[in-house]
Amino acid sequence: MNNKVKSIFLFIIGLYFLYLSPILVLSVLANISNTVLSITTNTPSFYLNMLAGAWWWIAILIAGVGVYLIKIGHRSLVKKQDRNKN
């Protein structure tokens, strides 16, 4: 796989990770609303939904991976273009 294809591939994967992160955040918000309902009805799922806070960290990590992959892909594309100019 040449560098340009690899760079574009990393860029697209990075965009996918950035797209995935808000979906996880929205699922966390849905879990929080379920938790509020569980508190009012005293169901046992309240304790399971307490673990939903971990999804915030997972979403942040996935967004970070996406930004990192976009940065790597962009950097290698720019380097390739600079080499072609010289």
* Rounded distance between C-alpha atoms, residue 61 and residue 9, angstroms: 20
- Taking residues 25-51, report their average pLDDT: 64
Q: Determine contact, residues 19/11, Cβ cutoff 8 Å.
A: no
Per-residue model confidence as pLDDT tens digits over 59-74: 777 778 878 888 887 7
> Is the pTM for the entire model greater than 0.75?
no
Q: Report pLDDT for 74.
A: 76
Annotated domain spans of the chain: 3-85
